[in-house]
Structure 1
């Protein structure tokens, strides 16, 4: 009979995600991960296989803890005008800087730049997650008062454009732009996509 795990896997995974997010895949050593997760080397390998397995699980954790809440906001019918949902999501980028002084950017964007070019499996995961965000923006655009008469193809293109703009905001944060500059950029994005109330 298998022995039960001696650690909280979700908690340990959340801590590993923070290490990868801050240091990147190459920069995160096994010792860094073990120290943050508070587990033994054998437990890490038994639970996740190897460092890459842990990284992939961390990406999935990021999807659950960060991407899915963003998608829920973009699809929130309690906010009838989709333009307001999009604005609320874009403004979370500034909130992270102002409230937490978090300059790590987006773990997904970081991974897409750092690991996806060299690893087809990670590339596919990144594309799938970004595709979900594009669909989220598309759904919000369909409910935007300003875009009620646009055809499906145009809405899809605008959804892709908004996802690119959103990722760009996250890169601005990582690059150290002041929050007021990020806010100005958000207003520019909203104006360019005809989403200003």
Structure 2
């Protein structure tokens, strides 16, 4: 009979995700992970295989904790105007700086730049997650007054452009731009995509 896990895997993954998010893959050592996760080396390897396995699991945890709520928000019909949903999502990028001085950027964006070029599996995971974000923007665009009559191809192009702009905002935050500069950029993006409400 298999022994039950002696730790809360979701909680441990959350802790590992925070370490990877803050220090990056290369900057994170096994000792950092063990200390943060409060588990032994054997438990880590038994549950996740190795450091890369844990990193991929942490990336999926980020998708669950951060990407999926964003997608739900973009498709929330309780806010009927998709342009308003897009604007509110973009504004969350600067809100985390103003409220918590959180300048880690986006764990997905960081991974796409840092690790995806060197690892096909991580690259595919990043592309899949970004593809979901594109579809989230696509769904919101379909619910905007100015874009509802556009064809699917045009909407997909705009959705891809919005995802690129969103990632750019996350990078601006990590690079240390002042909140007011990020807000000006958000307004520029909204104007360029004809989404000012």
* TM-score, normalised with respect to structure 2: 0.99
Q: Does 1:37 align with 2:8?
A: no
User: Partner of 1:133 in structure 2?
Assistant: 133
Q: CA deviation at 1:104?
A: 0.4
Trace 1:74-153 onto structure 2 (pairs within 5 A).
74-153=74-153
Query: What secondary structure is seen at the aligned counterpart in 2 of 1:2?
Result: coil
Trace 1:22-33 onto structure 2 (pairs within 5 A).
22-33=22-33
User: Partner of 1:60 in structure 2?
Assistant: 60
CA-atom RMSD in angstroms = 0.5
User: Partner of 2:51 in structure 1?
Assistant: 51
Unaligned 5+ segments in structure 1 are none
Q: CA deviation at 1:8?
A: 0.8
User: Partner of 2:165 in structure 1?
Assistant: 165
Q: CA deviation at 1:11?
A: 0.4
**Within 2, Cα distance between the matches of 1:138 and 1:103?**
27
Unaligned 5+ segments in structure 2 are none
Q: What are the Cα deviations for residues 3-24 of structure 1, in whole angstroms up to 9, with x where unaligned?
A: 1111111101100000000011
Q: CA deviation at 1:149?
A: 1.7
Aligned residues: 197
User: Partner of 1:72 in structure 2?
Assistant: 72
**Within 2, Cα distance between the matches of 1:139 and 1:10?**
30
**Within 2, Cα distance between the matches of 1:7 and 1:99?**
32
**Within 2, Cα distance between the matches of 1:146 and 1:83?**
9
Q: CA deviation at 1:100?
A: 1.0
**Within 2, Cα distance between the matches of 1:8 and 1:139?**
35
**Within 2, Cα distance between the matches of 1:96 and 1:164?**
19
* TM-score, normalised with respect to structure 1: 0.99
